[in-house]
Amino acid sequence: MKKSWWKILTVFIMFYVIFQGLLGGVPRQPILNETIRNLYFHVTMWPAMITMLLVSMIYGIRFLSTNQISDDDKSAVFAKTGILFGVLGCLSGSLWANFTWGDPWPNDAKLNSAAVGMLIYFAYLLLRSSFEDEQRRARIAAVYNIFAFAVFLPLIFVLPRLTDSLHPGNGGNPGFGSLDIDGNMRMVFYPAIIGWTLLATWITTIRYRLRVIQRVQDEKVSFQNNPVPNH
């Protein structure tokens, strides 16, 4: 029970966010109207994604110093969850853009940068599948992971602020403020960030456990196929 308290908290927060996100009151603003509810889903997924990718990089660095294959496994599963949330963030953002900007994917610096960032991490997955030797795969993937994260952050946070962008807070546009969101929305927005991050962590722990089970099964099969000879 003590170990699962945060899972119970995750379920509680996500029920709260989904209920309030769909049925709670929101400010009626021109253009945004009811679509501002996507703030609880689209925007709050990005901190969860960044957290997963950051932890993935940390485990990659840790593997380079320990050579423990378990660190590489953890790095991989955190990266995969981060990519999942990145894809969900892009899809929910595209849906929002279609209603507010009239185009699911306008020529916007932040949208394009996010797409490039996702492609960088898709390449990470392809890179991992290109090597059969575990140690070699883990070392190369760890180094790539470090550079991928170092490039990804400027792509989605710095570059859009230096060029024209439709996104709030980028390209000279004001960010969401008191004119767009009220105190009631903030009471949902901040818990949503925590909830999505906890949910991403939960998904990752399940992925890692499945990976451990698969590794144990592979070792059993390998032992059965190549038993140790008796002396």
More confident residue, 140 or 167: 140
Query: Which pLDDT score is estimated for 110?
Result: 86
pLDDT in tens, 64-91: 999 999 999 999 999 999 999 999 999 9
pLDDT, one tens digit per residue, over 116-137 is: 999 999 999 999 999 989 999 9
Q: 155, 117 in Cβ contact below 8 A?
A: yes
Mean pLDDT of 22-51: 87
Quote the pLDDT of residue 26: 82
Q: Is 47 within a domain?
A: yes
Q: What is the pLDDT of residues 33-44, one digit of tens each?
A: 788 888 999 999
User: Could you tell me the pTM of the whole model?
Assistant: 0.88
Q: What is the pLDDT of residue 140?
A: 96
- The span from the CA of 39 to the CA of 18, in Å, is 12
Note whether residue 66 is domain-resident.
yes
- Does residue 24 belong to any structural domain of this protein? no
The pLDDT of residue 178 is: 47
Residue 54 located in a structural domain: yes
Residue 17 lies in a domain: no
Q: Could you give the number of structural domains in the chain?
A: 1
Strand segments (E) across the chain: none
- N-terminal to C-terminal alpha carbon distance within the chain: 48
Q: Is 6 a member of any domain?
A: no
Domain region containing 202: 33-210
Position 14 in a domain: no
Residue 68 belongs to a domain: yes
